[in-house]
Structure 1
Amino acid sequence: MAAYTQTPSLGLEETWQKLHEGIDGIMNHLEQGMTYTKYMELYTLIYNYCTSSRMQTGFSEPLGTNATNRGANLMGADLYNKLKDYLKAHLEGVRAEAANQNDEQLIMFYTKQWTRYTTASTLVHHIFRYLNRHWVKREIDEGHKQIYDIYTLSLVSWREHMFMGTESNVMAAVLHQIERQRNGETIDTGLIKKVVESFVSLGLDETDSTKSTLDVYSKHFQEPFVKATHEFYTKESEAFIGANSITEYMKKAETRLAEEENRVQTYLHLSTLKTLVKTCEEVLIKHHAGPMQEEFQVLLDQDKTEDLGRMYLLLNRLPDLEKLRVLFETHVRKQGTAAVEKVADSAASAQVGEDEDEEEAPAPPPKRGAKGGPAGRRLDVNHEVYVTSLLAVHTKYDELVKTAFKGDAGFVASLDRACREFVNRNAVCTTSSTKSPELLAKYCDQLLKKGNKQTDDADIDKQLDKVMTVFKYVEDKDVFQKFYSQQLAKRLVFHTSASEDAESNMIQKLKEACGYEYTSKLQRMFTDIGLSKDMESAFQTAMEKTHDKDELLDFSVLVLGTASWPLTAPKTEFNIPAELLKTYERFQGFYTQKHSGRKLTWLFHLSRGELKTNHVKMQNKTSYVLTVTAYQIGVLMLYNNATSFTFSDLTGATGLSKEALGGALQQLLKSKLLVTAENTKHGPNGVYELNFDFKMKKIRVNLAQQGTKEAKQESDDTHKTLEEDRKLLIQAAIVRIMKTRKMLKHQNLMQEVMQQLHQRFKPQPADIKKCIGILLEKEYIERTEADKDMYNYVA
């Protein structure tokens, strides 16, 4: 530990004279350094002076007074004031010297003097440590204002006697340097950083010397700097945008904003960032937002993704992007509508060409209907082309939203609204929004069938994800469900599914999108297939026990629940061929014995079988194997007994209606397995002969394909049943709502019905009113006597 020897204390003037010499050396010749001995000499002078009251007998203290502290208080004030006066005189001299400096020279002088002064002040602060610990602390504790520790006193003195007389000139020089940098010149940013640090250091809290504020920096640096920035960029941006394109201006604005943000990081105080950026955004973006917004449509038309991204990042700094989102939504809707128009025009041209071939006479060009497509005619659009065109538009602009608009939620919503519009209302949909879900279901059927273009389950799953993208925008999801369930039923019945896993994945996707109820019947269809396999196996085992193998046909059967499967009973009678009758009767008996309370309805129009041809050979090699419908089997088996039949002969023998027989004959005639006799045509008066010159490239020939007319008829029938289903759904919704509410006004009931059903389809107000009328007649609900616009639920 250090020990001090008490020496005789000096008076104030003698003490200060020695201190003045030492402090002046520190302030003006700091680079020469100070020895430890000199440091301790100055420290001891202050210590001895402040404690000298203990040896002075001239003081008379009241009883109980701490003489040591009291003396220190009195003597410390004199030294504090002497130092304060010295700092004032010293800084006035520095300020006078600064008056002769200009521009960069002034900044260099200011920063050099600031560095020297603060370093010297730190040393002086340590020399006066005893005064700080006792007299200064005592004064501050007693609440005396404008008393600071020695280092803070030095900063206050700089602010009052140096800074306040030079800050305007220093700031002018600093702003000039920053302007030079903005114009591309190289400057010494370290000098400006030191100026900023000095301004920040001078922010002292007058009420608490231990705290600091940014008041000096904000008022004397930030305010003039931001004002100069506003003026500079106002002038520059107006000149630049007048001489250059909007896209070039956006690049300039983007660069300038980055420069200013970097400027704050490099040599300004971080508190300036928010105000500076806001000012730049106002001048560079807000003032020119109009021309940029007008350019937005041009960039969309030209697919300028990079420029659109730059515009988004700039305009997104402003509070409102709604105008751009509206423009984007309108643009996407137009692009989607135009893409479908091309598909519709192509389909219309192809359809007119087909009609010309059929009629063998020229036809006028198709007349456009009010909403596209040949007037009064239903367009036969290729589902793959249609869905692909929808996906192409969505994919393009979805990528644009992700890339240029950074996945902005507002633009995502605009894209969704636009896609929902052109998916449901376009040239192919004409007067109804049910066409899109129908074509989407057919496209899905194509993906899930054997022989599709996809090579494995992963590829199929990717395509199904795209299907779900379009499905999300479809309003009439019940239409999709109707067609999808029919096509799934056919894939399961005819064993044409490409993959069970893919089928399950698709049902899971639909379940996630629409809920369990939407897919419950689809899942039960798979359950029925499993149960049916077990029953078929049991039947085969039973038959093998009681019959020789030669007596049994290669027979398989699917027993399906009526409630789960979208299959209808045939509308025609059918005389089962003798060759199949025994097997039919055996299974009928087996099932009745096993399930006495159930009834089997045979769907012969969906049944398939294989026949071998014996009347022709392929170069003496083998017979053709024909895949045919049950009705075609009924027709062809007749030709084992004769080679020619009239239409009426075939009708009588098979029991089929004229329509069903005509459909069965269509593929047989198209393949030329049967031919019409000379001078006859296909129809009620036709005569059908077995073609002994029948030839096909492949041994296995599928003649069980559905004809175009049958497919159209099936589609029309589906739409009709769909209308009935919707009526039942609306009625069920009304009953559910009224059962819960008990009493409800007409308009509120209409709104709640629409809300409940909007995820399946968009019910029309007229249809809801009709269903309300039906339920009034059935007395499920009733009007109140007091208010005819109010309904009561009838329990």
Structure 2
Amino acid sequence: MPSPMPPMPNKDDSTGTWTYLQAGVDRIMADLREGIDMKTYMGLYTAIHNFCTHQKAVQGSSGGFTTGGSHSRGGAHLLGEDLYNHLIEYLKTHLSQVLEASKAHTDEALLTFYIKEWNRYTMAGQYNNHLFRYLNRHWVKREMDEGKKNIYDIYTLHLVRWKEDMFLATQENVMKAVLRLVEKQRNGETIEQAQIKSVVDSFVSLGLDESDTQKTTLDVYKEFFEQPFLDATAAYYKEESRRFLAENSVVDYMKKAEARLEEEKERVPLYLLDDIMSPLMKACETVLIADHSQALREEFQLLLDQDRIDDLARMYRLLARIPNGLDPLRTRFENHVRKAGLSAIEKVATDDLEPKVYVEALLEVHTQYQDLVNKAFTGESEFVRSLDNACREFVNRNKICKSGSTKSPELLAKYTDALLKKSGAKMSEEDDMEKKQSEIMTIFKYIEDKDVFQKFYSRMLAKRLVNTNSASDDAETSMIAKLKDACGFEYTNKLQRMFQDMQISKDLNSAFKEWQGGNLDDEDRKNAVDASYHILGTGFWPLNPPTTPFAPPQVIVKTYERFNNFYGSKHSGRKLTWLWQLCKGEIRANYLKVPGSKASPIFQVSTYQMAILLLFNDTDSLSYEDIQEATKLDAATLDPSVAVCLKAKVLTISPDNAKPGPGTTFNLNHGYKNKKLKLNLNIGIKSEQKQEVEDTHKTIEEDRKLLMQSAIVRIMKSRKKMKHQQLVSETIKQISSRFTPKVADIKKCIDILLEKEYLERLEGEDADLGYLA
């Protein structure tokens, strides 16, 4: 049972009043479980009110008297201060006893004692704060309003005294106990987490803002809890990581480090403040990752070589946590991919390397490491950049494609041509074509000499359109659209115009057939050759006139003269140039029958072969000179044209085993047999193909000179004056999207423009070169 309260004191009796109040405060401070009855509580509250407000004169320090009042600086003021100081001394005495009692406890027992006393003390503080409410409202408020230091409301006073008289003397031992508990938990033991949470809350409560006692700061918590906690954490993991790495593999260590980091992250919401998350993670990352980053990076190459994606992903996640942790990995990754690409090309390199084999080798390396970047490095932009740098290097500079060579774009264009041509092996789905085109664009983006690809692609597209052997118009337009997205309208402008010409030609052929119906008699219509024509704009199609003289057969002459007349009637002033090397047709061999059929075989031939074979309508045997005289073809065209017929045994040659040439005779083979209804004799001549490649490269060189000159003039026209070196740099910048120019070539172009007086050399000026309008 609590001891009985003393009688209510006289309001003039300072000593009696405090004795009365102390008995009540004792009851509050000692044991709250019994509580205070309302009568006692009201008696205490009334005593404080009376003591602070009575009007009796109080003797001043000068020996005179002043009249106290509730709004004066006299007696009420002095009495409030007296009561406040009594309470301070009481709290000091109480806390000295608590401090002394704490010395009998250590470790978890100390934590239990500290938390119990803290909870009892702060609860008592709340009761006392309410009990001394009148003192807070008047005397304390007035003192604080007047700027007095070290004056607090009663509850804050309790916290201040705890900090000064209890906390500072015990915090070191309390923190040691806390840290030992945390270490136990890190070692796998179960602990009472609520104890640490209570300690954290108590440290936070002691962070008083001196400028505004109504606010709290984290200063005390950060100094006395957070910093020791971080230091202990770093020390623990520094030792653990050193020992673990000495006895285990790097891969096992990474798993351990990742697990530890996750544990620490999960620990924060359990009993720590959220504010500690960032510094705690940083401290752990320093000792677990940064201090061992060299060991991790040395393992990187081995993981790459073995394609261990999961372990690479783990290494990425760890090193991504520390500043500049990934930079060395990106460099090593780039070198690794570059070597892998060079090695892949070296394995397939031959003198007559197929475009398909070459492109698929490039794609295989890119696909493998693109997949690795996505899975292991989460598609991070800097690793993507490293992959791109490596791919750009081995695509443009490898065993097949030496430094500065244009072989890669040429082979990619040929691969694209093969894909877009009609083939017996149909795509299983449209998606396959889309996928293949996307793969082409993947390699295309790495090609530096995009103008080379454009030249070869446009020539091959022209042949596909003219020979009507595109896989589909949709596939062609889709490919052009992808190139346009990558390089802009100018890059594909001519390609699109070529398509437009083909559509116009379709309409023109329909109109021509209608015209023939109304302008030819029955005999002419019966003997007319069924022909179609492509009208190709000279400025858009990369086609050259024939390189050989040619006398077409009379039946062909009559056919194209009719079309000339028709076209001239619709477009006066336009001249048609016939590209005989691109023309083809079909002729029926009426002197033969397909075995097992009454039908005669059909030969698919070039116009040159057609002219040769039609000569055999009048005779079964012709000399080389006869054919040459009749067709006017040069030997470079005639020889391979008849060679195909000889190989197919449509013709035979005398003397036997001779090569086509002067002195040889060609005979129509009446004994020819072939089960096929159609036989293709229109086979490309390798020498012509080789010459075409050489011509294309020459065209590229000429176009590059013009492109560089136009860029130089454009730059100088806008700048008027420039330093020579600045002009070179600006020119490279402007045309690098099409190809990578050599500085020597740019200088030659500048010299050409100086000779042509587009530019001039300046003397006594800041600029080396000037623009001449």
Q: Does 2:97 align with 1:93?
A: yes
Deviation at 1:52, TM superposition (A): 2.9
Q: TM-score, normalised by structure 2?
A: 0.92
Which 10-residue stretch deviates more, 744-753 or 561-570? 744-753
- The reply on whether 1:385 has 2:357 as its aligned counterpart is yes
Change (3 A) 1:62 1:121: closer
Tell me: CA distance 1:391–1:57, structure 2 relative to 1, closer, same or farther (3 Å): closer
Matched length: 756
Which stretch of structure 1 is more off in the superposition, 295-304 or 405-414?
405-414
Whole-angstrom distance in 2 between the partners of 1:665 and 1:119? 113
Alignment of 1:76-225 (within 5 A): 76-225=80-229
Residue aligned with 2:445, SS: helix
Q: What is the RMSD of the two structures over their aligned residues, measured on CA atoms?
A: 2.6
Is residue 723 of structure 1 aligned with residue 695 of structure 2? no
Shift of 1:66: 5.7
What CA distance in whole angstroms lies between the structure 1 residues aligned with 2:734 and 2:251?
A: 48
Q: Which runs of 5+ in 2 are unaligned?
A: 1-7
Change (3 A) 1:620 1:46: same
CA shift digits 1:173-218 (9 cap, x unpaired) = 1111111112221211111111111111111122321122222112
Q: Partners in 2 of 1:575 and 1:689 — Cα distance?
A: 21
Is 1:646 aligned to 2:651, yes or no?
no
Q: Which residue of the other structure, out of 331, 339, 343, is the alignment partner of 2:344? A: 339
- 1:570-609 aligned at under 5 Å gives the runs 570-609=546-585
Q: What does residue 490 of structure 2 align with?
A: 517
Task: Output the TM-score relative to the length of structure 1.
Answer: 0.90
Assess if the C-alpha contact under 8 Å between 2:396 and 2:402 holds in 1. no
Change (3 A) 1:61 1:473: farther
The residue aligned with 1:266 is 270
- Once structures 1 and 2 are overlaid, which stretch shifts more, 756-765 or 785-794? 785-794
Tell me which moved more, 598-607 or 640-649.
640-649
Asked if residue 322 in structure 1 is aligned to residue 327 in structure 2, the reply is yes
* Cα deviation 1:239-293 (Å, max 9, x = unaligned): 1111111111122222222222222232222332332222222222222122222
**1:119–1:655 CA distance, 2 compared to 1 (3 A):** same
SS of equivalent to 2:604: strand
Q: CA deviation at 1:340?
A: 0.7
Change (3 A) 1:480 1:24: same
Pick from 479, 482, 493: which aligns with 2:455? 482
Q: What is the rounded CA distance, in whole Å, between the counterparts of 1:58 and 1:431 in structure 2?
A: 106
Match of 2:45 in 1: 43
Q: Is 1:294 matched up with 2:298?
A: yes
1:107 and 1:170 in contact (8 A); partners too: yes
- 59-68 vs 727-736, which moves further: 59-68
Q: Which amino acid aligns with 2:613?
A: L
Tell me the distance in 1 between the aligned counterparts of 2:503 and 2:244. 75
Q: CA deviation at 1:103?
A: 1.0
Instruction: Tell me, yes or no, if the aligned pair for 1:88 and 1:161 is still in contact at 8 Å.
Output: yes
Instruction: Name 1:251's counterpart in structure 2.
Output: 255
Give yes or no for contact 2:9–2:20 (8 Å, CA) kept in 1. no
Q: Distance in 2 between matches of 1:769 and 1:471?
A: 29
Using the TM superposition, give the Cα deviation of residue 433 of structure 1 relative to its aligned residue in structure 2, in angstroms: 2.4
Aligned counterpart, 1:526: 499
Letter in 2 for 1:507: I
- Report the CA distance shift for 1:787/1:120 in structure 2 as closer, same or farther (over 3 A): closer
Identify if the C-alpha distance between structure 1 residues 109 and 551 changes in structure 2 by more than 3 Å, giving closer, same or farther. Answer: same
What is the match of residue 24 of structure 2?
22
Counterpart Cα distance in 2 of 1:39 and 1:503: 96
Question: How many Å apart are 1:550 and its aligned residue?
Answer: 1.9
Aligned counterpart in structure 2 of residue 669 of structure 1, from 646, 655, 664: 646
Q: How far off its partner does 1:61 sit?
A: 8.8
- Cα offsets for 1:647-680 (capped at 9, x unmatched): 3222222221111122323433343333334523
SS at match of 1:792: strand
CA distance in 2, matches of 1:157, 1:66: 28
**Other-structure match for 1:760:** 738
**How far did 1:101 drift?**
0.9
Q: How does 1:546-557 map to 2 (within 5 A)?
A: 546-547=519-520, 548=522, 549-557=525-533
User: Which amino acid counterpart does residue 546 of structure 2 have in structure 1?
Assistant: P
Q: Is the 8 A contact 1:612 1:626 kept in 2?
A: yes
The sequence identity of aligned pairs, in percent, is: 52
Does 2:444 align with 1:442?
Answer: no
Deviations 1:526-583 (A, max 9, x none): 2212222222222221111112342433221010100000011111122222222221
- Equivalent position of 1:424 in the other structure: 396
Is 2:612 the counterpart of 1:635?
yes
Specify the code of the residue in structure 2 equivalent to 1:703: L
Gaps of 5+ in 1: 1-5, 349-378
Greater shift in the superposed pair: 539-548 or 402-411: 402-411
- Tell me the equivalent position of 1:495: 468
2:386 pairs with 1:414: yes
State how far apart, in whole Å, the 2-side matches of 1:498 and 1:33 are. 96
Q: Distance in 2 between matches of 1:265 and 1:169?
A: 24
**Counterpart position of 1:12:** 14
CA distance in 1, matches of 2:671, 2:75: 138
Whether the aligned pair in 1 keeps the contact of 2:25 and 2:128 (CA below 8 Å) is: yes
* Residue equivalent to 1:616: 592
State the 1:98 CA deviation. Answer: 1.3
Please say if residues 448 and 502 of structure 1, whose CA atoms lie closer than 8 Å, have aligned partners that are also in contact: yes
Indicate if the aligned counterparts of 2:580 and 2:607 stay in contact, CA closer than 8 A: yes
Which one-letter code corresponds to 1:24 in the other structure?
D
Are the structure 2 counterparts of residues 660 and 61 from structure 1 closer, same or farther at C-alpha, using a change threshold of 3 Å?
farther
**One-letter amino acid matched to 2:101:** E
The alpha-carbon deviation at position 466 of structure 1 amounts to 1.6
SS at match of 2:54: helix
Cα distance change of structure 1 residues 608 and 136 upon mapping to structure 2, 3 Å threshold: same
Worse-matched range after superposition: 118-127 or 11-20: 11-20
Answering whether residue 438 of structure 2 is matched by residue 465 of structure 1, we say yes
Equivalent position amino acid for 2:492 in 1? T
Residue in 2 that maps onto 1:405: 377
Say whether residues 1:395 and 2:367 are aligned partners: yes
Higher mean displacement: 451-460 or 309-318: 451-460
User: What secondary structure does 1:557 align onto?
Assistant: coil
SS of the residue corresponding to residue 194 of structure 1 reads helix
Structure 1 residues 57 and 341: alpha-carbon distance in aligned structure 2, compared to 1, 3 A threshold: closer
Distance 1:519 1:402 in 2: 32
Which amino acid is the alignment partner of residue 339 of structure 1?
A
Structure 1 residues 453 and 153: alpha-carbon distance in aligned structure 2, compared to 1, 3 A threshold: farther
Aligned mates of 2:437, 2:220 — CA distance in 1: 65
Q: 1:403 to 1:35 in 2, by over 3 A?
A: farther
Shifted more, 225-234 versus 560-569: the winner is 225-234
Counterpart of 1:749, as a letter, is L
Distance 1:788 1:553, change over 3 A: farther
Task: Using the TM superposition, give the Cα deviation of residue 787 of structure 1 relative to its aligned residue in structure 2, in angstroms.
Answer: 8.1
- Cα distance in 2 between the residues matched to 1:461 and 1:646: 52
Cα gap change, 1:8/1:486 in structure 2, threshold over 3 Å: closer, same or farther? same
User: SS at 1:30's partner residue?
Assistant: coil
Distance 1:15 1:659, change over 3 A: same
Deviates more, 1:735-744 or 1:135-144: 735-744
CA contact (8 A) 2:57 2:67 kept: no
User: For the structure 1 residues 621 and 18, does the alpha-carbon distance in structure 2 shift closer, same or farther, using more than 3 Å as the test?
Assistant: farther
1:687, 1:22 → 2: CA distance?
139
Secondary structure, aligned partner of 2:191:
coil
Gap change, CA 1:713 and 1:67, over 3 Å in 2: closer
Moved more, 223-232 or 707-716: 707-716
Is the contact made by 1:614 and 1:623 (CA closer than 8 Å) also made in structure 2?
Answer: yes
Is 1:775–2:748 an aligned residue pair? no
* Paired position in structure 1 for 2:539: 563
